[in-house]
């Protein structure tokens, strides 16, 4: 029997449709994967434009200015934080570098919080507390402040000095550097330029102590001593009654603690009959007057009298 050649079977329509579907699916899957990769690449690309120095902080000048005092021991200022980059930046830390009187640095507290309601009058529950003596970076991420391009954020900064009288005339200068990063990133970081301010304590009235120069045969006159403040100038004023005007001679225009006064030649000669003396201090346009010291004339080595502490 002669066998006929077997015909090759062609693909059926259902199988062809299935194959086409697989091809379409692979094409769509490839497209979706590419879109996801593109989105990720776009985020990284925008983050890369936010380089160091793209963070700006303004307003610290309001923390300086007028001197601190017992009646006004602190300053409050809104700090505007902005970015010139295209990616959002979340604040992460604050570096403080202070110079000046070390004890005052320890005594000035710094509190930061995120402004709410357009004012710094209300202090929320979340604050960052440190001092101007801090040397390690201060973590400020808890404030949840994120800066967007064209949309600045506002931080509230408050300084508070404890015991202003203990720091009379002292000053410190502090520089603040804020750091931020692109959310979700560990490598895209921006630092602000250092912004500085100086806080000075108004000079307080000196407390003057009077000490006789010696006994009956000692040196004539007396000494005045007090705690001096760097940068301040001092002069003496005296009068011959408790109601007359105060007198300052050119010779007493500038004095220092331990200054000797006498009715004899040398030192500052004020003569006999002076009943009261005081010290006047000046610093940064502020003038303060010490306590008044009462004097009396006493015999000195039989040859005459000399002013002594009463």
As averages over each run of 10 residues, the pLDDT of the chain (310 residues) reads: 46 37 30 26 40 78 91 96 89 97 96 94 93 97 92 96 92 96 87 95 94 80 92 90 82 80 71 87 92 90 82
Model pLDDT, residue 102: 95
Model pLDDT, residue 217: 73
Model pLDDT, residue 144: 95
| 55-200 CATH, one of 2.40.33.10, 2.60.40.10, 3.90.1150.10, 3.65.10.10 | 2.60.40.10
Domain boundaries, the chain: 55-200, 209-309
Top-level class of domain 209-309 = mainly beta
Model pLDDT, residue 230: 87
Model pLDDT, residue 244: 87
Model pLDDT, residue 53: 44
CATH topology identical between 55-200 and 209-309: yes
Count CB-CB contacts under 10 A for residue 246.
Answer: 14
Q: Which two tokens stand for residue 47?
A: 């983050």
């Amino acid at each position: 029997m002669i066998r006929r050649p077997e015909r090759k079977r062609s693909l059926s329509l259902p199988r062809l449709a299935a194959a086409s579907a697989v091809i379409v699916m692979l094409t769509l899957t490839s497209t979706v994967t590419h879109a996801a990769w593109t989105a990720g690449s776009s985020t990284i690309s925008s983050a890369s434009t936010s380089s160091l120095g793209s963070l700006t902080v303004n307003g610290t000048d309001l923390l300086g200015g007028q001197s601190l005092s017992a009646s006004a021991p602190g300053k409050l200022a809104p700090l505007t934080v902005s970015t010139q980059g295209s990616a959002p930046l979340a604040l992460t830390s604050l570096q403080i570098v202070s110079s000046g009187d070390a004890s005052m640095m320890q005594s000035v507290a710094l509190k930061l919080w995120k402004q709410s309601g357009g004012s710094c009058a209300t202090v929320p529950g979340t604050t960052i507390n440190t001092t101007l003596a801090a040397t390690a970076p201060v973590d400020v991420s808890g404030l949840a402040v994120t800066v967007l391009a064209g949309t600045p954020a506002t931080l509230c900064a408050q300084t508070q000095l404890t015991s202003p009288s203990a720091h009379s005339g002292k000053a410190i200068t502090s520089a603040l550097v804020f750091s931020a990063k692109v959310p979700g990133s560990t490598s895209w970081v921006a630092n602000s330029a250092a912004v500085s301010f100086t806080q000075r304590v108004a000079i307080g009235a000196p407390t003057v102590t009077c000490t006789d120069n010696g006994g009956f045969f000692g040196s004539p006159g007396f000494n005045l001593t007090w705690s001096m403040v760097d940068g301040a100038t001092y002069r003496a004023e005296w009068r011959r009654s408790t109601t007359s005007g105060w007198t300052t001679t050119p010779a007493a225009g500038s004095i220092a603690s331990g200054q000797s006064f006498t009715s004899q030649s040398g030192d500052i000669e004020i003569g006999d009959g002076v009943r009261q003396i005081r010290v006047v201090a000046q610093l940064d346009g502020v003038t303060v007057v010490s306590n008044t010291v009462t004097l009396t004339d006493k015999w000195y080595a039989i040859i005459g009298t000399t002013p002594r502490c009463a």
